[in-house]
Amino acid sequence: MNDTPPKSSAFLSPADLPRLQAQGLSVPAYARAGLKPGVVHLGLGAFHRAHQALVFDRLLASGDVRWGIFGVAMRNTELADALAAQGGLYALQIASRDGVAWQVCGALLQTAVAAREPEQVTAAIAAPATRWVTLTVTEKGYVPALAELLVQGLARRHAAGLPGLTVASCDNLTGNGRQLEALCLDAARAISPALADWVQTQCAFPNSMVDRIVPAATPARLDAARQALGVADACALGTEGFTEWVLERRFADPSDEQALTSAGVTVVDEVRPFEDAKLRLLNGSHSAMAYIGAVAGLPVIAQCIAQPVLQRLVHGLMTHEIGPHLSRRDWPTYRDALLARFANPELQHSVHQIATDGSKKILPRWTPPALDLLQHGQTFDRLAFAAAAWMRYCLAEDEQGQPYAINDPLSEQLQALARTHASDAAATVQALGTLTSVWGDELPRSTPWLAAVTAQLTNIRSHGMLKAAALLP
């Protein structure tokens, strides 16, 4: 076999699959022609394509033809059109302890853009073959307009006498299924009580937890895909070997449990222990490293965790301030696995990608463990340091004087507050640490918490980010 496939200006297409299979790459092990989508997915980003789509790919490979995907980009026309041009195919570089391998995923059968083709999206939800809707629209996407789009399709199903759907949120929200259900019921009631009753009784909105580190695509990754495939792939991604999907036992079709379990999904009665552990240990630590790294000039997570002082900080954060208050019993094992995952040099996970939409992520990631520690009279120096790092991050300039963009719905407000009070740590904490939209209602009223954050921000400004981190216990 030729170890270096010839380069081509052509893009990946179904015609390439026999050649790629002959080269030893993993390609769809099923005939894609004639398959109908059984899943409508909203939020056609990197995470879905590296996570849920692979579960559905495995189900299709097992002979269960009900799991093809109609992928919906909410606004990104470029991505949807690129995937359509490649026949829904894209390559995934999976970096694990066993090395790096490439896989071509074929579960994505059709694409649309909600902002451009809402009728197509509604029709797909209402299609007789559709059984599931899954969502990765990010935390800020859970707004009435999202529910209205969903319910338009559900209303058509109801009117046509079709069965209800399983509608599974896969976003990092506490009780994500219940939050989505409440939005959809409100939208359905605005149409008719009968529709709301049908949605409530015939559709299922399971809570879920998803876990896989998926960096945004980079030019280097796209070039690696070209080298591996022998053709260009505008939609190629990289990810880690670890993957987990935990779903609440709550399905419109109860027989789906067996199918999903066979594809590696964990089905449980209560998702909350897994959800809390992931949000607080993985996402909480990720956010802390993102703000620290952005200010310190460390561009990717692997570089952050390679700093002994930050590895000690993250280990201490998980061990002493987060883990003991979790109900997931195996959290120490999960913690150790996370430290190894963070250090994976192949991922090149940008700190600025992780820092995106921080004002929407802090509340579920940092506020609950901080309140737990306050309630038990325990110290929270590392969480306070993370909060102070975020406040320093809001200046939009690293310690070398290099500016960076803050991608956040409150970016203008956050930067204005940070810059107005840049010379006064206490005033900064009063301005940024009392935003209830970021921290919730209770934490901004805690004098010990605000004092601890002020002390850490003072240290960061006096000593610099890494030297201040070294002062932590």
Q: What is the pLDDT of residues 15-40, one digit of tens each?
A: 999 999 999 999 999 999 999 999 99
End-to-end CA distance of the chain: 55
For residues 51 and 244, give the distance between their C-alpha atoms in angstroms, rounded to a whole number. Answer: 8
What phi and psi values does residue 467 have, to the nearest 5 degrees? -65, -35
Q: What is the mean pLDDT of residues 336-353?
A: 96
Q: Which neighbouring-strand residues pair with 95?
A: 100, 240
For residues 306 and 304, give the distance between their C-alpha atoms in angstroms, rounded to a whole number. Answer: 5
Give the DSSP letter of residue 379. Answer: -
Of 372, 404, 399, nearest to 463 by C-alpha is: 399
**pLDDT band at 97; cut points 50, 70, 90:** confident
Q: What is the mean pLDDT of the chain?
A: 96
3-state secondary structure (DSSP) of residue 90: strand
Q: Which residues contact 112 (CB under 8 A, 6 or more apart)?
A: 70, 71, 72, 73, 80, 120, 121, 124
pLDDT (tens digit, 9 = 90+) per residue, 129-157? 999 999 999 999 999 999 999 999 999 99
pLDDT surpasses 50 at 5: no
pLDDT surpasses 70 at 9: no
Instruction: Compute, in degrees rounded to 10, the torsion defined by CA atoms 448, 454, 457, 459.
Output: -90
pLDDT surpasses 70 at 469: yes
* Residue 445 CA from chain centroid, whole number: 30
Count of CB atoms situated within 10 Å of the CB of 411: 16
**pLDDT band at 4; cut points 50, 70, 90:** very low
Percent of the chain with pLDDT over 90: 97
DSSP letters spanning 103-152: EEE--EEEEEETTT-HHHHHHHHH-TT--EEEE---GGG-SHHHHHHHHH
CB 250 within 8 A of CB 204: yes
CB 49 within 8 A of CB 237: yes
Q: What is the mean pLDDT of residues 349-368?
A: 97
For residues 252 and 154, give the distance between their C-alpha atoms in angstroms, rounded to a whole number. Answer: 13
pLDDT (tens digit, 9 = 90+) per residue, 164-220? 999 999 999 999 999 999 999 999 999 999 999 999 999 999 999 999 999 999 999
3-state secondary structure (DSSP) of residue 100: strand
Tell me the pTM: 0.91
CB 38 within 8 A of CB 132: yes
pLDDT of res. 98: 83
CB 293 within 8 A of CB 305: no
**pLDDT band at 7; cut points 50, 70, 90:** very low
For the chain, domains (ranges, CATH) are 14-268 (3.40.50.720), 272-470 (1.10.1040.10)
For residues 127 and 251, give the distance between their C-alpha atoms in angstroms, rounded to a whole number. Answer: 18
Radius of gyration of the chain (CA): 23
pLDDT of res. 449: 98
